[in-house]
Amino acid sequence: MPGADKRDSERILILGELHGEVMVFQPMAIKDISRGGAQVETTFPLQLDSLHDFRLTLGERSIVVKGRVTHCSISDVEQEGVLYRSGVEFIEPSDRVAGVITDFIDAVVNGRRAP
Report the candidate in 39, 44, 47, 51 with the shortest Cα–Cα distance to residue 26. 44
pLDDT digits (tens, 9 = 90+) for 5-63: 677 898 889 999 988 877 778 999 999 999 999 999 999 999 999 999 999 999 999 99
pLDDT digits (tens, 9 = 90+) for 72-96: 999 999 898 999 999 999 999 999 9
In degrees and rounded to multiples of 5, residue 33 shows phi and psi of: -150, 145
Cα 48 to Cα 9: distance, rounded to the nearest angstrom = 38
pLDDT digits (tens, 9 = 90+) for 48-70: 999 999 999 999 999 999 999 99
Helix, strand, coil distribution of the chain in percent, nearest 5: 15, 40, 45
Q: Give the architecture-level CATH label for domain 29-113.
A: Beta Barrel (2.40)
> Which pTM was predicted?
0.77
